[in-house]
Structure 1
Amino acid sequence: MKIAITGPLADKNLGDYGMFINNIYDLSSEHEYTVFSYNSDFVKSLKQDFLSDFNLDFVDVDLKQKEQKKPSILDKVKKLRRQILSLDRKKYPTPLEIINRCENFDEIKNKIIESDVLVVSGGGYFNDLWYNWKRSDDLFKIIIPIIFASYLKKKIVFTANGYGPFDDSSSFYSMIFSEAKGAYFGCRDEKLSPLYLSDIGVYKYEKLPDDLYLIHDNLLNSNKSKCYGDYIIIELYDSISMFSKNLESLRNIVSYFEEKNITVVFMPFDINKKTEEFLRKNIANKNFVFYEMNDYLKLNDAIDMIKNAKLVICNRYHAMVLSVANKTPIINVIKPVGDYRYYYNKNAGFLDNAFGSENINYNDFIKSSLDDVYYLIKSEYDSFCERQNKIYDLDIYLSNKNKLKEKRSKYFDNIVNR
């Protein structure tokens, strides 16, 4: 079978590319794959490190640059007047405008023609953030294969995606999703995503586990953690100014674990040299170390590290997913994206899938600041870990995991069965 895949798989952020790797392992190496990308240099590394046994072809989706007309003084005055009088009307690119920006139009179209199905790999990129952010062109590159597959009446299967919030971009997504009539929609939460989907005209979806919750056996092949003794992991990403504001809390957390002879491993899901330089300069404790990686954090190594950690403190959603999947105590510092809806939808929605909201207290897993994290650790670290470990031992945890595994298996069978 010939399978085409699109999604945020060309990001070095472990969560984004990791979902793609896990999905393609579950689909198996017996098929032929065309993988649409927006960063061919990085995906070549993925092919070498994880996919050497797969018959696949990475194809970049190329976009023409937007025409940038320098506004005149009169144009600026008119724009200011429209803004003051609230006369500005937002313009949304139609599907036709988007694919007409595709420089390799014929190549992408022909690849879709040759394919039996288009798989839209999971993540949280169908939202206002990606549409309005500097990542909008990457979003369009992900969407272009969907538009072509829609026009060509190809089977389209979305794996476990999160959707929304849409806000200003709802009209845009309504156009895109209305083109994909008959597509199969996988949804990784039943918190806010179903509401956002209904707002743009999608009412049928399949509840699925996150694409990284049920890890393929072939990704459990690392022993990196043996280098660190007893350790916890800190995975945080933010601006230098935010790290500076939270520096005292970070120092306090590191010092607490130094007294317990536990190493603190700083393991970001995406390399940021400026952050590393700042932390090296400002945290001098001997038990504070940086996880050594080359170009990117490898998924199998990260799984092994998380599985054997005593605790994970993180920002990223997928650090929490992998921790819960491996029964590792976790504190997620929820991060605002404008407001907290985006991460509340992801984090609380995932915890509901894993445990059921009636069986847990979200506050046992989610905190709003590093100050709150330090206070929790200082006041009740041992009892907190014991509390989470008891939750992992509940029958409902294994029962939910088995149900989600069955759902994912049946859903993926639908991908390869015409």
Structure 2
Amino acid sequence: MTSLQHSNVGFVGPYGSANLGDYGILINDIYDLHCNHITVFSYNYNWPKVQLDAYCTEIQVDYCVVQVKENYFFDGAIYKYSEDAILNGCRNLDEVIRYVKAIDVLIISGGGWINSFWAYRTEKIAKIATIIYLAKSLNKPIRFMTQGLGPLGEFAEWYKSLFEGVNATVPVRDKQSLVVANRELKLSAKWCPDDLLIPNQRWDNFKSVLAPIETPYVLIEPFVPMENLKNNADMIGYFSRMFYEWYGCRLFYMPFDLVHFGNEQAQYCSSLSAYADYYDISSDLFPKFEDVLALINGADFVITGRYHGLVLALSCAIPVIHIVNDICGEYGANKAYSIVEWCFANGRGSLFCAGSLLDAFVKLETQYKTIRAE
């Protein structure tokens, strides 16, 4: 996409948490488009303002938080709400309209929210849809950054209606998304790698101030429910001790989010052994991109259940074990498969797959010595 440095560029997507993948995509898109003035439509007062304040200090940033009427979206299925009903549910509609009128183009980013998995987050989807409906009605150009699409399931017709009339090609990051775009959404599409597979060079302006880790370490992103971790606490502690005794290697836990399978999990896992540590994001409130890259680049191995943990490990050419869990179902499997296929075709990194954290530890045991020798 061409530079938009002289435009007021609107961005809409799932911007409402500390998640590294979500805010990383947004800021990377802002950098890629050479934006000087942006308007971010969010569904949360704090996010992504905290991250944009850190990484976009030279850019004029306007914020518009879409608010909905209390208890309005009581039904868990977004397809039960028409365009008029969704707009009627916006509590600050006049304010939102003013912000949409002021933009020159709307960018739909965010990675992977166009699916049945996300569609049950009714209020959040309604807030995103409000901006898209208004941009269409005001004849604002609409463009997509790289998306993961589907599965849509029972929400296919609703999503098709949402994007009806949008004259833009959708860059998609997996082959299944090509099918979803063409057959279900009736949109033209082309395959592109994930936005963070080749991070914009402007990220290099931010240097990690974390103290170097002196001993070899395996970096683990714990995208695992707490109940699962507690049920396997003894084995997690055992593997930590074993790797240190056998290889002099510590386990270092790195959260990608503050609360959603994030800092609590990392802190808990590190507490199970004297040979484990974790990256505490409780004071910064989000994982800093430069810190995450520094930790990945310094690791002997990465274990992750998150898609963008996989993407960044492969981007840094660090051996990685990807936990293919059932938290995100088919949606998660599709996007992971595509990035793996691309990296193998382009000779990037070494990849192994596991079905759980304990399974990942077993695979790590069999592969670690070989990887270290290389």
| TM-score, reference length from structure 1 | 0.79
1:17 corresponding residue in structure 2? 23
1:183 corresponding residue in structure 2? 168
Q: Does 1:42 align with 2:47?
A: yes
Q: Is the 8 A contact 1:36 1:60 kept in 2?
A: yes
Identity %: 26
Q: What pairs with 1:94-243 in structure 2 (closer than 5 Å)?
A: 94-132=82-120, 135-178=121-164, 180-190=165-175, 192-220=176-204, 221-224=206-209, 226-229=211-214, 230-243=216-229
1:414 corresponding residue in structure 2? none
Higher radius of gyration, 1 or 2? 1
Partner SS for 1:141: helix
Q: What pairs with 1:336-355 in structure 2 (closer than 5 Å)?
A: 336-337=326-327, 340-355=329-344
Q: Is the 8 A contact 2:9 2:105 kept in 1?
A: yes
CA 165–350 in structure 1, closer or farther in 2 if over 3 Å, else same: same
Q: Does 1:92 align with 2:76?
A: no
Distance 1:352 1:107 in 2: 45
Q: CA RMSD in A?
A: 2.6
Q: Which amino acid aligns with 2:16?
A: A
Cα deviation, 1:228-252, whole Å, max 9, x if unaligned, reads 1222211012322111233344224
Q: Is the 8 A contact 1:252 1:374 kept in 2?
A: no
Q: Which amino acid aligns with 1:137?
A: E
Distance 1:264 1:278 in 2: 13
Distance 1:250 1:279 in 2: 7
Q: Is the 8 A contact 1:249 1:374 kept in 2?
A: no
Q: Does 1:324 align with 2:314?
A: yes
Distance 1:238 1:369 in 2: 9
Q: What pairs with 1:9-88 in structure 2 (closer than 5 Å)?
A: 9-29=15-35, 31-67=36-72
Distance 1:90 1:47 in 2: 29
1:381 corresponding residue in structure 2? 368
Moved more, 216-225 or 147-156: 216-225
Aligned residues, how many?
359
Distance 2:24 2:141 in 1: 24
Distance 1:297 1:354 in 2: 25
Moved more, 11-20 or 33-42: 33-42
1:303 corresponding residue in structure 2? 293
| TM-score, reference length from structure 2 | 0.88
Unaligned runs of 5+ in 2: 1-6
Cα deviation, 1:169-212, whole Å, max 9, x if unaligned, reads 2222122122x43133121111x212222342324112222121
Cα deviation, 1:128-183, whole Å, max 9, x if unaligned, reads 11112xx32112212211111112222111101101111122222122122x4313
Q: CA offset at residue 277 of structure 1? A: 5.5
Partner SS for 2:133: helix
Q: Which amino acid aligns with 2:104?
A: D
Q: Is the 8 A contact 1:189 1:353 kept in 2?
A: no
Distance 1:258 1:332 in 2: 22
Q: CA offset at residue 292 of structure 1? A: 2.7
Partner SS for 1:365: strand
Partner SS for 1:227: coil
Distance 1:361 1:306 in 2: 12
More helix by share: 1
Distance 2:119 2:41 in 1: 19
